[in-house]
């Protein structure tokens, strides 16, 4: 819940769980020694590049922070979430998909993986990983169904502005799910729910209380 706690930290994920989130979406990169960490950007707020920084040095490079708001590893987040919510992992780091699946394999919980890098998802599909795979879209969804079939994806993640009823129906008819990002207004949430969308990604889970009224 980035509106309450620092984004991509254990307190933020704990707040989302406490608010009743059915899923947790996060971004991952990998350190120089191969530890998968949860952070939106490839560099820390202190300017350190995650991919060239050792895990043991990462939070020192990240800048002053109490332990609870340090950059967590994906393993730490998995331990926190357990089976209380589905974990949706967005791969941002290049060529780290095997490291990501190594963290998830054998853990308790429900996991899915998605990325803007559709080739990454294609490699995971060819490796027959046991997780739902998804493609992120930020500009056009005209060929979403075709691209999902091409890359072996079961989920489409379009930006909220790209979603309309025909898109939702087209993807669902093909057997896929539609999850919109990032929805931070009640009006958008109601509109998308009216289309029968499968999921809504938001910075504030309590915003979705409007769907129950």
Domain membership of residue 5 (yes or no) is: yes
**Angle at Cα 37 formed by Cα 106 and Cα 104, nearest 5°?**
10
* pLDDT at residue 3 in the model: 66
Clarify whether residues 5 and 41 are in a common domain. yes
Rounded to two decimals, what is the model's pTM?
Answer: 0.94
Clarify whether residues 38 and 3 are in a common domain. yes
Clarify whether residues 140 and 98 are in a common domain. no
Contact 100, 31 (CB under 8 A): no
Clarify whether residues 82 and 153 are in a common domain. no
* Tokens of residue 9, six digits: 């930290």
CATH of the domain at 22: 3.20.20.190
Percent of the chain with pLDDT over 90: 83
End position of a domain, from candidates 109, 124, 158: 109
* pLDDT at residue 62 in the model: 54
Domain membership of residue 125 (yes or no) is: no
Clarify whether residues 104 and 196 are in a common domain. no
Domain membership of residue 128 (yes or no) is: no
Domain membership of residue 119 (yes or no) is: no
The rounded distance, in Å, linking the Cα atoms of 209 and 113 is 26
Clarify whether residues 82 and 31 are in a common domain. yes
Domain that holds residue 204: 135-208
* pLDDT at residue 152 in the model: 98
How far are the Cα atoms of 116, 167, 210 from residue 185, in angstroms, in the given order?
24, 21, 10
Distant-in-sequence, close-in-space partners of 40: CB < 8 Å, separation ≥ 6:
7, 8, 27, 92
Q: What is the pLDDT of residues 71-100, one digit of tens each?
A: 999 999 999 999 999 999 999 999 999 999
Domain membership of residue 127 (yes or no) is: no
Helix, coil or strand: residue 133: strand
Clarify whether residues 99 and 190 are in a common domain. no
Clarify whether residues 103 and 157 are in a common domain. no
The rounded distance, in Å, linking the Cα atoms of 25 and 87 is 6
End position of a domain, from candidates 109, 125, 145: 109
How far are the Cα atoms of 83, 134, 163 from residue 189, in angstroms, in the given order?
25, 21, 11
How far are the Cα atoms of 7, 30, 123, 197 from residue 78, in angstroms, in the given order?
16, 16, 23, 26
Domain membership of residue 116 (yes or no) is: no
Domain membership of residue 122 (yes or no) is: no
Quote the number of domains for the chain: 2
Residues of the chain where predicted confidence (pLDDT) is lower than 50: none
Domain membership of residue 155 (yes or no) is: yes
Half-sphere exposure (CA, 13 Å, Cβ side) for 209?
A: 6
Clarify whether residues 16 and 55 are in a common domain. yes
Clarify whether residues 62 and 141 are in a common domain. no
Contact 168, 149 (CB under 8 A): no
End position of a domain, from candidates 109, 126, 152: 109
Contact 133, 155 (CB under 8 A): yes
Clarify whether residues 5 and 101 are in a common domain. yes
Clarify whether residues 4 and 97 are in a common domain. yes
């Amino acid at each position: 819940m980035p509106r309450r706690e620092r984004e991509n930290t254990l307190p933020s994920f704990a707040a989302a769980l406490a608010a009743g989130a059915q899923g947790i979406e996060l971004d991952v990169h990998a350190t120089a020694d191969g530890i998968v960490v949860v952070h939106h950007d490839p560099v820390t707020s202190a300017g350190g590049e995650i991919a060239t920084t050792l895990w043991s040095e990462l939070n020192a490079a990240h800048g002053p922070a109490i332990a609870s708001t340090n950059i967590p590893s994906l393993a730490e987040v998995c331990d926190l979430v357990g089976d209380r919510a589905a974990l949706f992992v967005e791969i941002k780091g290049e060529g780290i998909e095997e490291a990501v699946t190594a963290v998830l394999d054998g853990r308790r919980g429900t996991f899915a993986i998605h990325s803007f890098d559709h080739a990454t998802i294609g490699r995971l599909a060819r490796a027959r990983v046991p997780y739902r795979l998804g493609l992120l879209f930020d500009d056009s969804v005209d060929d979403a169904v075709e691209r999902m079939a091409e890359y072996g994806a079961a989920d489409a993640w379009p930006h909220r502005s790209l979603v309309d009823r025909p898109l939702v129906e087209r993807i669902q008819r093909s057997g896929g799910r539609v999850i919109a990002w990032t929805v931070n207004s009640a009006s958008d949430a109601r509109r998308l729910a009216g289309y029968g969308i499968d999921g809504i990604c938001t910075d504030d889970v309590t915003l979705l209380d409007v769907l129950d009224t």
